[in-house]
Amino acid sequence: MAEPLDELRASLKGDVLVEGDRDYERARLCFNLLIDRHPAAIARCVDADDVAAALAFCRDRGLEIAVRGGGHNPAGHCAVDDGLVIDLSRMKDVLVDPENGIATCQGGATWLDFDTAAQAHGLVTPGGVVGSTGVTGLTLGGGIGHLTAQYGLTCDNLVGAEVVSPIGEIVRAAADENPELLWGLRGGGGNFGVVTRAEFRLHPLEQVVGGRLAYQGEGVAEALRRFRELAVGGPRELSIQAQITMDTSLEAQLLVVPCYTGEEQSPEALGPLRAGPGLVEDGLRRQGFLEQQRIFDPGYGVDRNHWKGHFVAELLDELIDDLLHRITVLGRPQWNPDRVAPRRAQGRQA
């Protein structure tokens, strides 16, 4: 593909990486290290025209395409073997209009980029819980995070977008222009095009009551039941998340992360959780929203995970018991990247 890639390079203001280039290994890396794909080329675009040119290049040659924003897709849809990755990571600008309560970000911006810019004006939009997640990818998938109960899904707050269609047209989607496309971007599925710019409604918020509550031992099941009651019947100002893990002694652990945006300094609704059995860490405090956003942050490209997603109508006691049984029956703790040697870049093997 050397000669065709020269044509692609000539058509872009950005750059094109292939295997052997200095930045190729880093650019093909996914957040989930179980994904190990080798694109034929990675087009690092800098604007919508670059994206349109990259799409035309693939369309003319029948190449498979992957679009990379933050690279966090668990299944690795941000990378493709032997095809072209349209990489938006050089498109990270975030512009905040505090007077109109709107933030506009490019397609490669992460939540750390977005939240840092918005919090400079005391504003937020509901987003993800890991700072290196791409804003656009999370939005097009719905978007659940620390502010879901208060302000809805991320896609609910999307008010406009610049989209490069599969045939290379650059169009705007908004309430008064291509409203059907905006509807599609707000939860209607995928493959409508490449979003190169997105506009979000903002909400005033600077501080929350948040942090970590950690449980272990026999108190984990009871803490999960108390978490369930809050998730279903808690105040509108409270979003709450939970994560079950296992420690090195093969005992189940529970991490509960509330995010309260009301006026109470010590929210009464969180009292049962803070007084529950098995509590080994109470890190709740009033803090800035950016601090809350860093609670779950792992390093990029260090986790190896196999994800499955399921929705349930209710977190029954039987389901809680089954979850705890299944995580302990595995007989091994969560994978810890600190206990393995650093990954070395390797050439592709046949």
Instruction: Please give the structure tokens belonging to residue 209.
Output: 């009551």
Is 80 exceeded by the pLDDT of residue 147? yes
Q: Position 234: which residue type? A: G
How many Cβ atoms from other residues are within 10 Å of residue 103's Cβ?
27
| 8 Å CB contact between 170 and 161 | no
**Model pLDDT, residue 3:** 75
Neighbour-count burial of 200, counting CB atoms closer than 10 A to its CB (0-12 exposed, 13-18 middle, 19+ buried): buried
Domains in the chain, number: 3
Strand runs labelled E in the chain:
15-17, 41-44, 65-68, 84-87, 94-97, 102-106, 123-124, 158-164, 170-174, 194-201, 203-204, 207-210, 213-216, 238-246, 252-260, 279-282, 285-288
Q: Residue range 138-143: average pLDDT?
A: 93
The answer to whether residue 330 scores a pLDDT higher than 90 is no
DSSP state, residue 89:
T
What pLDDT is recorded for position 322? 93
pLDDT of residue 247: 77
Taking all residues of the chain, what is their mean pLDDT, rounded to a whole number?
91
pLDDT at 336: 56
Confidence of residue 87 (pLDDT cuts 50, 70, 90): very high
CB 88 within 8 A of CB 106: yes
Residue 107 has pLDDT above 80, yes or no: yes
Residue 334, Cβ density class (10 Å: 0-12 exposed, 13-18 middle, ≥19 buried): middle
Q: Are 55 and 194 in contact (CB under 8 A)?
A: yes
Report pLDDT for 11: 95
Q: Which of 20-29, 71-80, 277-286, 293-302 has the lowest mean pLDDT?
A: 293-302
The pLDDT value given to residue 33: 86
Q: What are 184-224's pLDDT values in tens digits? A: 999 887 789 999 999 999 999 999 999 999 999 889 999 99
Phi, psi of 152 (to 5 degrees): 90, -170
Average pLDDT over residues 331-335: 62
222-234 pLDDT, tens digit per residue, is 999 999 999 999 9
Would you give the DSSP letter of residue 131? T
Distances (CA, A) of 174 to 162, 186, 188, 196: 9, 11, 15, 14
Q: Which of 158, 179, 204 is the last residue of a domain?
A: 204
Average pLDDT of span 156-176? 96
Give the residue numbers spanning the domain of 147: 94-204
Cβ atoms of 39 and 79 within 8 Å: the answer is: yes
Please name every residue paired with 257 in a beta bridge, in sequence order, or none if there are none. Answer: 241
The answer on 156 and 244 residing in a single domain is no
In a domain, 25, yes or no: yes
Per-residue pLDDT tens over the stretch 3-43: 789 999 999 999 999 999 999 999 999 988 889 999 999 99
The model's confidence at residue 340, banded by pLDDT at 50, 70 and 90, is very low
Residue 139 within a domain? yes
Round to the nearest angstrom and report the end-to-end CA distance of the chain.
18
Would the pLDDT of 259 be above 70? yes
CA atoms within 13 A of residue 257's CA, in its CB half-sphere? 17
Under 8 Å between Cβ of 235 and 280 = no
User: Confidence class of residue 350 from pLDDT cuts 50, 70 and 90?
Assistant: very low
- What CATH number has the domain bearing residue 117? 3.30.465.10
> For residues 123 and 174, what is the distance between their CA atoms, to the nearest angstrom?
22
Burial of 122 (0-12, 13-18, 19+ CB in 10 A): middle
In contact, 90 and 17? CB cutoff 8 Å: no
- Is 24 within a domain? yes
Judge whether residue 179 has pLDDT over 90: yes
Whole-number Å distance between alpha carbons of 243 and 125: 23
Q: Does 184 share its domain with 218?
A: no
Q: Would you state the pLDDT for residue 303?
A: 74
DSSP 56: H
- CATH number, position 257: 3.40.462.20
Indicate which CATH number applies to the domain containing 63. 3.30.43.10
- Is residue 310 very low, low, confident or very high in pLDDT (cuts 50, 70, 90)? confident
Write down which residue in 204, 219, 238 finishes a domain: 204
Q: Give residue 342's pLDDT band: very low, low, confident or very high (50, 70, 90).
A: very low
Q: Which of 47, 39, 46, 32 is nearest to 5 (CA)?
A: 39
The verdict on 66 and 113 lying in the same domain is no
Give bridge partners of residue 246 from the DSSP assignment: 252
Residue 235 has φ and ψ, to the nearest 5°, of: -65, 155
**Coil, helix or strand at residue 271:** helix
> Residue 339: which pLDDT band, with cuts at 50, 70 and 90?
very low
Please state the rounded mean pLDDT for residues 230-255.
91
